[in-house]
Structure 1
Amino acid sequence: MLLHAIDTGTGPGTVLLLHGMMGSSESWWRLIPPLTANGHRVIALDLPGHGLSERDPQLTIEQAAASVVETVRHLAPGRPLAAIGHSYGATVLAASFEMLQPDLSVYVDAALSLTGGHDRAALTAQYARDRRARLSPEGLLRSRPFYSAQDAEVEARAAALFDPATTASISCDTDHSWLPEAGSIVLRAEPSAWVSDDDARRFAANGADVRSIPGAAHTIWYSHFDAFTASLPELFGPPPPHPLS
């Protein structure tokens, strides 16, 4: 399955962006301009069942990962490739790592585990209720005062396009867990409801660079934009100087 993408910018390298559950490629709207200004091509995908990508009520995490890999190979087969995944998107990134082999992976506030065995109808109904609660920009601003008006509009629009059955399906299979590969970056809120201190220690022991942003919300770049970009100088730092001719 080829996924819908925002594809913008030019440069020798590509940055892949994978949003969290009930988000969309638009969730990265604040981060895309500084990335392209730093000379990166940016590809932000709508994961299956999100945004303008296809729905699949029998989706597995392996199929979601394969769709990401297929789309990246179709749009940007060259190197270098960096990837940022948030929450559910980080889980999909971890599941796709062996096939995708990014030069740099950034996992944002995700435990990189997936609990399976859920009742399909019950979980679909729960996600449908969660979706309804996110349809109003005004409601999102009340529950997330750190959102800007545009953040709220973007996330309400993403909720309207979200398909509960597709995303519920991935939690009806078996349990999955991943460790971030050595050399990757794990960026978490502190405290985090998703990445415990024990998780952080396990990730660091496997060679990941665990970085924390105190007081940040789960969507770190919405609540702490400057701290988020400053914490990733590999991607948001000043571009390298041009060689002398």
Structure 2
Amino acid sequence: MQLHTTSWGEGDRVALLVHGIMADHRTWRKVGPALAAQGYRVIAVDLRGHGASGRDTYSPLLFADDLVETLPRGAELAVGHSLGGLTLSLAVERLAPRRAVYSDPAWHLPAALGTGPERLARAKAFTREEIAALNPRWEGRDVDIELETLRLWDEATAFGLTETFGADLRPAKPVVPSLVTRADPSLLVSPADAAELARRGFEVRTVKGAGHTIHRDDFDAFMTSLEGWI
């Protein structure tokens, strides 16, 4: 499926941005322009079932296939958050970016979290007040965007991820030089996960005090965590 895309900048270097579940390209409203200011042409997708992209059946492999169909091969940088991190890791060999950044990627959802597709799908009905309470560090503009992206989001995407709950989808090794940024604390990348990913060849950086959506919780710290990679 050809995905809806949004771009910033006209630089010679290309950066790709892949959002997490429930979101769309607007989650990168600060990151896209910041990378463009550093000389990138930035391309952000709406995954299938999100934003302005089409609706169909859903699975991690289909999300990844869509990236390959939509985005240019050989970008300078590719960044994926949460589901976007999982999706990017499944597409990275075919996309062949020079560097990849996985922001609190959804590679390992421990069964102890009690998280499942039904729980994710219930987020469709969140109110503005609930979103703000769950994300106390977000700016009001991001809360408004989240409310709108939830309205557009097809919650059936959550059920397309059923087999990922309790599974270990951490890559055996990085296909390209790769950075993992993790929240503090992170429900998806535990300290043990971080140590194991480092052993496998990933660079791992923790953004102190940030929640799961690091780039919205603490934009400045998120950009600082990318030093040497952008």
Q: Structure 1 length normalisation: TM-score? A: 0.83
Partner of 1:214, secondary structure, is coil
Distance 1:178 1:7, change over 3 A: same
Letter in 1 for 2:169: S
1:43 alignment counterpart: 43
Structure 2 unaligned segments of length 5 or more: list them: none
Quote the offset at 1:28 in angstroms: 0.5
Report 1:165-184 matches (<5 A): 165-172=156-163, 175=167, 177-179=169-171, 181=174, 183-184=177-178
1:131 alignment counterpart: 124
1:243 alignment counterpart: none
Matches of 2:108 and 2:3 in 1, distance apart? 23
Pick aligned residue for 1:156 from 130, 147, 153:
147
Contact 1:35 / 1:235 at 8 angstroms: preserved in 2?
Answer: no
Quote the offset at 1:156 in angstroms: 0.8
Matches of 2:117 and 2:187 in 1, distance apart? 22
The Cα offsets for residues 183-240 of structure 1, whole Å up to 9 and x where unpaired, read as 200000122111011111111011111001111111111121111111112355xxxx
Matches of 1:80 and 1:126 in 2, distance apart? 35
Matches of 1:111 and 1:88 in 2, distance apart? 5
Matches of 2:152 and 2:61 in 1, distance apart? 22
Distance 1:55 1:46, change over 3 A: same
1:16 alignment counterpart: 16
Quote the offset at 1:154 in angstroms: 0.9
Matches of 1:184 and 1:211 in 2, distance apart? 11
Partner of 1:99, secondary structure, is helix
2:76 alignment counterpart: 81
2:70 alignment counterpart: 71
Partner of 1:166, secondary structure, is helix
- Larger Rg computed on CA atoms: 1
2:61 alignment counterpart: 62
Letter in 2 for 1:69: V
- Cα-Cα RMSD: 2.2
Report 1:106-125 matches (<5 A): 106-113=101-108, 125=118
Matches of 1:115 and 1:208 in 2, distance apart? 20
Structure 1 unaligned segments of length 5 or more: list them: 117-122, 237-245
Aligned residue pairs, count: 223
Distance 1:195 1:125, change over 3 A: closer
Matches of 1:230 and 1:60 in 2, distance apart? 33
Matches of 2:158 and 2:94 in 1, distance apart? 21
Contact 2:83 / 2:106 at 8 angstroms: preserved in 1?
Answer: no
